[in-house]
Amino acid sequence: MSLKHKFLIIFFIFIFSFIMGSTSIYAQNTIYFNGENISGNISTVSVKGELLVKATDLAEMLNADLKWQPALKLLEMEADDVKIKLMANSSYIQIKNDAIRTKAGLQLIDNQAYLPLAKAIEAFGYLLEYQRDNEELYIFQPETTISNVSWQEDGNQLQIKMDEITPYRILHSDDGKELTVEIDKAEIDEEFSDNISNNNYYLKVVNVPDKALLRLIIRSRNSIPFKIDGGVYEKEDALILSFLPQLKKIYIDEDNTFAVEATGKIPEADIEYLSDVRKMIIDIPSIVIGEYELDIEKNSFIKDVSVRQHNLDPVVLRIEVETLGNKPLQPIIDPQKQKNNVLSFKEGEKTIIRDLAYNSGQLSFKSTAHIDPEAFLLSQPPRLVVNLFNAQRGDNILDEINVDDSQIEKIRTARFDEKTVRLVADLKELTGYQISEKQEEGYYSYIISLQNKFSKVSTEDTADFKNLNIALTGSTDYEVKKFTHPHRIVIDVKNAYNNLDELDMPANGGLIKEIRSSNYELEGEKVTRLVFELDKYFSHTIKKSDDGRLINIALAKSADAAPDEPMLIAAPKNNLIIIDAGHGGFDPGAIGYTGLQEKEPNLAIAKKLAEILDNKGQKALLTRNRDKFISLQKRVSTANEADAELFVSIHANSINNNTAGGVETYYNGNNNNSRLFAEKIHDKLSRSLGIIDRGIKKDNFYVIKYTKMPSVLIETAFLSNPREEKLLRSPEFHSKAAALIADGIIDYLRENGGR
């Protein structure tokens, strides 16, 4: 064979291979248009890895006008004021005034024009989702249009304006500096406006064509103060992302006032003065550092200021102020003069202390100006010392006050140094204390409350009752609660020192199965809990005597006993209980250490809980019973429209710290019974779930803020903790958590009897 013939054979083999490799006459994709399978109605080919559709089929599908100019081999297609142009042997597609490059361009196959399906369909405003695993292509019309993204409420809320809310999910980066909002079946308005990018934040809009979604990527120089649970709210035409306020400015104004300004409301700060009075530490909760301005030049009383993010769980901003003089800076607390986003300080005014008094464990006095008492305990002999800076003694301040009390022997006052008045309470034994302040009639009133102690716990039997007697050293604020499974009488005493292990406790037996105690904190107040676990329970009544120092609880020994004021326990009713499995569908929620998505254990626990409640004769309704997206608005409306009795939302927690763990129960104060409902459930979880007890907390999560019935949100465990993520994968843990939540629900219903 000649060299020429060999060359021709090789050339034809190459051309044939190229054609076969570049064009597949039968494309394997299944194509759906607005939910309908149209694969059999259109002709498609694959060229250079790009899916092409016959032009006449696409024109019919879109009801478009089609024009072909043979001389130029130019194709024009027009629909809804959108025109595209393609020319054979060119890889470009012209859309209005833009030219977009494609892989294959316009192809003429068997005298028919084929054009790139994805680029053409997108030009006409459609969205595509390509599921490669099963080679399915979905073509949608957009269901919502994003018109603008803007800051609201002075930079603490981000509003994403859209026609209507479609499924969405929010993702937080590991470093906390990037927030991604993914919105399904969404497009950007032609007149879209970015009103959030500034010197700290930057917005990037990304259209993900093969997933039919839009990404709004928000990047910050600092950690973005956002909580996925509780930080998202829905309106009819907008998503609202609530951020924690940021530090904005630290400055000294023209009135010589030292001020700390944030982008939103500043919560009550914890202020500490170091003993040399030249340094002040300000700890502000729920504020993040942000980009702030520091302007303290040319002043006579502040030497230096340093700022740092002291904590992220919970969020605490710390400001340390070093002063030049000996006068401490004191906060300005006049609400008439103070903005809620500004914390202001003046150099300490000289004040006059007057009207020192003592009554039932409370030491009180008045001051002509705000002060911050420095208090501490000394042990030998036991005494409480209170230093009042920049103060002078005025009317009704005696050198010594003798007290006939179980806690105090006497109170002494003296000038400690040139600037300080010192109060000393001689104690009979060491105890804790709390200091409170309020403004009234031109004065600042201060109360130093000594913590009560338990002086005696005893029982006394009559024919029909067993009386529980709890005696304290002073009057106290307390609550008596009844829990079931097992039956327990619980006494929560505020501002009391737990010395119960030092007392002789009544013997177990009869109605009393066990007596125990514990300590916890509720909404910033320290509480001592005394628990009487009972063998049987019929009813009880409560009496308070001896100026509030003695609590008497009469336990009925039988159902026939009739106390004067019985506490009747109603039988359970078949009231509807809404069980809400957080997240779902396109919204995975938090993602665990090894990839477990929060929506999965949420649903598993919720379904198990519904099953248990059904077996107990209760009616339960799941907001979702499968992996499906349900908006927060829909979850709330489901509960409210059904006039449900109770609402329980199941979640799993996650933070950047992978050592944090435990169970939390949240409630909202909009319904008076929500806190009691939370206590019933959390009592079970904290005692028996087997992980750390992180307590009962109050918050404004959307689903418990807007539901009308008693509502709780439970963070069962931490996905960010590897050990707890493993638990959240376990069906045994799902069953255990569900059973404990069910016990708490039944407890609540038995004691409240529904509505």
Q: Which of the residues are catalytic? A: 715
> At residue 423, what are phi and psi to the nearest 5 degrees?
-105, 135
CA distance 542 to 723: 44
Residue 190 identity: E
The residue ranges of DSSP E strands in 590-677, in sequence order, are 619-622, 646-653, 663-667
CA atoms within 13 A on the CB side of 55: 25
* DSSP for residue 154: G
DSSP 128: E
CB contact at 8 A, 325 and 389: no
| Residue 331 DSSP SS3 | strand
Query: Backbone phi, then psi, for 313, in 5-degree steps?
Result: -145, 90
> How buried is 191 (Cβ within 10 angstroms: 0-12 exposed, 13-18 middle, 19+ buried)?
exposed
Query: Which secondary-structure segment (H or E) carries 18?
Result: helix 3-22
Question: Are the CB atoms for 16 and 5 separated by under 8 Å?
Answer: no
Token match 């190229």: residue? 18
Structure tokens at 118: 């994805």
Q: How far apart, in whole angstroms, are the C-alpha atoms of residue 106 and residue 54?
A: 10
Alpha carbon distance 589, 593 (integer Å): 13
115 and 52 Cβ atoms separated by less than 8 Å: yes
Return the structure tokens found at 630. 């349900």
Contact 613, 645 (CB under 8 A): no
**16: Cβ contacts below 8 Å, ≥ 6 apart:** none
Report CA-CA distances (Å) from 517 to 183, 247, 266, 334, 453. Answer: 50, 42, 36, 41, 13
Q: Which residue has the tokens 């409170």?
A: 436
Residue 104 one-letter amino acid? A
Main-chain dihedrals φ then ψ at residue 172, nearest 5 degrees: -110, 130
Spell out the residues 6+ positions from residue 659 whose beta carbon is closer than 8 angstroms to its own: 721
Rounded Cα–Cα distance for residues 411 and 457 (Å): 30
The dihedral sign for the CA sequence 248, 252, 254, 255: positive
Retrieve residue 13's tokens.
């083999």
What DSSP string describes 37-65?
E-GGGS-EEEETTEEEEEHHHHHHHHT-E
